[in-house]
Chain A
């Protein structure tokens, strides 16, 4: 069965002019046609690689609402992660997310493309490891080390809140930051207590509005950037209950794009949260 499945893949690789077997081993030290298939991969690849190394990024990368590398991504070829798009680009390194575009990744694996799959780290060590892994795959170890060093330096500057404040993160559709996730680690690093741990959440991390209202959070963490195109998910964060919570307690606005992905920008989120918490403590 496996052989039968491999045959079309081999035929395809041959047709494309690739030596199918052992292709990964022959890849040069510096890949020169890197294709990224995940927004979080885009962010690291665009920061660590030379621009000439990048063959394509995702269609999400140049949207300033969701991406932290929108400026760097302008003008680059974009894909939506479809197999045909990726194969046609003839990449010598594909960087994919462990949970996105699974069909394409499966095909690329069968054909034997050099592939790097990025997991979702849930602590700062995981972030450092992921930066180093991507940098090594790109042949840019020095940049990776520098990025990790800058990340640690930024974290070291952070003065955590004196008193552990209770924080509630609210994202569109009343999603929160689950305990044990990277977001939770960010809150802890800023000296905050994630009240989501006490709340009833569904298995996707959605908090009922009633539970959010009674959470007694000292700090409400929202993305209050410029309102984009309307959606019910965003409208929910302007429910009168949230408006009342905003008036009662302290709100800090952190753009969601800064902590969607593990990367050096995570240290900025820690710094902003800690500053907001200290501001709350001061009076």
Chain B
């Protein structure tokens, strides 16, 4: 390898090491930075939706794209939450996992608990987390011709990542179910995989 090239690679390597050390020295046990403006998030999120929309054909594709972006967020949120919650151990049971999401995760991300956590009356492997007014969706208005679109797909991606990290993989979708004065009331629907439900039964029986 030519000397000049080797030197430039070496320089790059030094720089990378420096950055890595800087990150390692940061304490993550406490949140270092508290808030940014909701508008900053809303503007960014709006661009994310528009960018994704230009690259997909239908609403379902758009939702799965948003969910993919949320998924990567969820992985990181989970890691950090685990670091910070002193009393929490990694949940493996479905209900505990759901409660963890409903309380800890929601509080971290949205400064409040989710409004409800319910089990579907029709099938026992389905659960619903409801947020009456998801703050991050506040400025979004869904056009009529896209009425089936749920911008909460981003949140369902976050949730999907977290249940997967808890070894309770599920298919997670989001649905807008408006109520009085709450046009963006969002229901996150989780349908747990067969293995998970099988394991639940075994654990229950073994108690």
Q: Do A and B bind each other?
A: no
Task: Write the residues of chain A forming the contact surface with B, with a CB cutoff of 8 angstroms.
Answer: none
